[in-house]
Amino acid sequence: GPPARFAAMTKAKSFSKLPGFRDFPPEELAFRSHIFDAWRRVSRRYGFLEYDGPPLESLDLYVEKSGAEIVEQLYNFTDKGGREVSLRPEMTPSLARILAARSRSLPKPIRWFTVPQLFRYERQQRGRLREHFQWNADVVGEAGVWADAEVVALAIDALRELGLEAHDFRARVSDRSLLSAILMEAGVTEDQLPGAYAAVDKLEREGADRVAGRLTDRLGLTAETAAAVLDVFASRELGGVVDRYGHRPAVMERVDALREFVGALEAMGLGEFVEVDLTIVRGLAYYTGIVFELFDRKGEFRAICGGGRYDRLLELVGGDALPAVGFGMGDVVLGELLRERGLAPDYRRVVDTFVVVIGGEQRSVALEIAHRLRDSGEAVLYALRDASVRKQFQASGTEGARRVIVLGPDEVARGVAVERDMATGTEREVALEELT
Ligand code: HAM
């Protein structure tokens, strides 16, 4: 412990981390890196370039652009220069801001990805923390369904890359422009659309009765219109929509586009991962076209990933009117699912060589050899204080070294060392020259 006089001077105070925040000791960080590495590998396979932005932005960027739910959760404050600022709760507004300034000079479509840490003041619940890392991949400058299919395939492939299969998860896809066409056919006005989306978004969690209440009491729909809305979502599939609205070109145009989008994923061989589900509408305000969420099959966890098309956002932040589509995939729910499926990798430090020093005079030889090995790219450890050979061998075992090199005085005098292969236990003499 610390010397007594320090203990007397400072009153011991213990600190714990804030609720909803995580520490990453090495084994946790290794798991996180395992996920990040998969995200980055798959992003590159799709030709995406990595970017980043600042963790702090002006508050304005999120107010109105993201929608009420996220704005309530902002970590915002006034900085010392009197600016209203917020930690980033999501990346999409920053991407729109960054591209507003430079999209003109970039070849289209732009394929960018990033893995930012995001901050939302969430209520405590499983799968939701107050910080998380979120892989974002977006295609900007292409309005067609092949771009939509590209990002959904990318999200699916990342989960496959981590060892998850079609029986583990699925992508539930819908289209907000189809929803708006249907809702307006059912009697919802354009002004009421955002409220209707927000209500339908709650269908799975709250059930039809409570959502009907939201539609009539909060949104002011007639009981008849509310019933017509809920009727559409009763089946979740396109069949019911076609039966009811097959004669409406505005609806059928969107149905065809959604089918083309799903068809592209089927052509890639990813059909078994995809399911049309009209109850997927997404909480964020800026989506204009296809929307999707990835869930575990059993429905035990919250969404692993969410995204969609947002063709108006770049204009809203002062850029060129560029169509865009993308998603965010968090590390929290995904980590829980991987752990549950036994897909978290074993954490092991890789140590190539442990150098055992016998007798103090050998230390400078040990330092020289160890350092030369490190220069050549090996991971090398040795005891940082004089210790018995037994203790040093123990340490090499604890650290999981692949081989041990013993530098005894007699061997060093002859220009050799003893090398032990820790897997087989075999020992041999090697020339010090040969070692490095
Ligand atoms: P989002 O649905 O808010 O979308 O978040 C995407 C994913 O991030 C969620 O499915 C979830 O896995 C994870 N996530 C969100 N909040 C938390 C939290 N508090 N704790 C743990 N994980 C969380 C967006 O943020 C959009 N900006 C995505 C996007 C990109 N759309 C287009 N491009």
Residue range 327-347, pLDDT digits in tens: 999 999 999 999 999 999 988
Q: Are strands 76-78 and 169-175 parallel, antiparallel or unpaired?
A: unpaired
Helix (H, G, I), strand (E, B) or coil at 32: helix
Return the closest-CA partner of residue 293 out of 311, 283, 309, 280: 280
H helical segments located in 276-427: 313-316, 331-340, 363-375, 389-398, 409-414
Exposed/middle/buried for residue 107 (C-beta within 10 Å: 0-12, 13-18, 19+): exposed
DSSP line for 67-131: -HHHHTT--EEE-TTS-EEEE-S-SHHHHHHHHHHHGGGSPSSEEEEE--EEE--PPSBTTB-SE
Residue 307: what pLDDT? 98
Number of H-type helices and E-type strands within the chain: 18, 17
Residue 7: what pLDDT? 55
Return the closest-CA partner of residue 92 out of 295, 280, 307: 307
Contact 344, 371 (CB under 8 A): no
For residue 33, count other CB atoms closer than 10 A to its CB. 13
For residue 47, count other CB atoms closer than 10 A to its CB. 8
End-to-end CA distance of the chain: 41
Whole-number Cα distances in Å, 102 to 50, 105, 107, 288, 308: 15, 6, 11, 23, 22
**Token pair in block for residue 234:** 């009763």
d(C-alpha 181, C-alpha 160), whole Å = 34
d(C-alpha 20, C-alpha 117), whole Å = 13
Contact 316, 96 (CB under 8 A): yes
Residue 107: what pLDDT? 96
d(C-alpha 295, C-alpha 229), whole Å = 24
* 285 C-beta closer than 6 A to ligand 1: no
Residue 436: what pLDDT? 77
* 66 C-beta closer than 6 A to ligand 1: no
Q: Which atom of ligand 1 is nearest to the CA of 129?
A: 20
Task: Provide φ and ψ at 88, rounded to 5°.
Answer: -75, 125
* 129 C-beta closer than 6 A to ligand 1: yes
Pocket test for ligand 1, best of 94, 110, 132 (most atoms within 8 A of CB): 132
* 69 C-beta closer than 6 A to ligand 1: no
Residue 29: what pLDDT? 96
**Token pair in block for residue 417:** 């060392």
User: Helix 249-267 and helix 176-185: axis angle, to 10°?
Assistant: 150
Whole-number Cα distances in Å, 311 to 215, 320, 368: 27, 11, 61
**Token pair in block for residue 128:** 């939701």
* 76 C-beta closer than 6 A to ligand 1: no
- Residue 318 backbone class (left: φ over 0; alpha: ψ -120 to 50; beta: rest): left
299 CB contacts (<8 Å, ≥6 apart)?
A: none
d(C-alpha 153, C-alpha 38), whole Å = 14
Task: Provide φ and ψ at 429, rounded to 5°.
Answer: -90, 135
For ligand 1, atom 24: residue with the closest CA: 328
AA identity, residue 35? I
d(C-alpha 430, C-alpha 68), whole Å = 69
d(C-alpha 342, C-alpha 136), whole Å = 25
**Ligand 1: centre distance to CA 237 (Å):** 25
Summarize pLDDT for 220-268 with one digit per residue, the tens.
999 999 998 888 788 788 888 888 888 999 899 999 999 999 999 999 9
* 319 C-beta closer than 6 A to ligand 1: no
* 366 C-beta closer than 6 A to ligand 1: no
Pocket test for ligand 1, best of 74, 111, 134 (most atoms within 8 A of CB): 134
The pTM for the full model equals: 0.92
* 332 C-beta closer than 6 A to ligand 1: yes
Over its length of 436 residues, how does the chain's per-residue pLDDT go in tens digits? 555 555 555 677 889 999 999 999 999 999 999 999 999 999 999 999 999 999 999 999 998 776 667 788 999 999 999 999 999 999 999 999 999 989 999 999 999 999 999 999 999 889 999 999 999 999 999 999 999 999 999 999 999 999 999 999 999 999 999 999 989 988 899 999 988 888 888 888 889 999 999 999 988 999 999 998 888 788 788 888 888 888 999 899 999 999 999 999 999 999 999 999 998 988 788 899 999 999 999 999 999 999 999 999 999 888 899 999 999 999 999 999 999 999 999 888 889 999 999 977 889 999 999 999 999 999 999 999 999 999 999 999 999 999 999 999 999 999 999 999 999 999 999 999 998 7
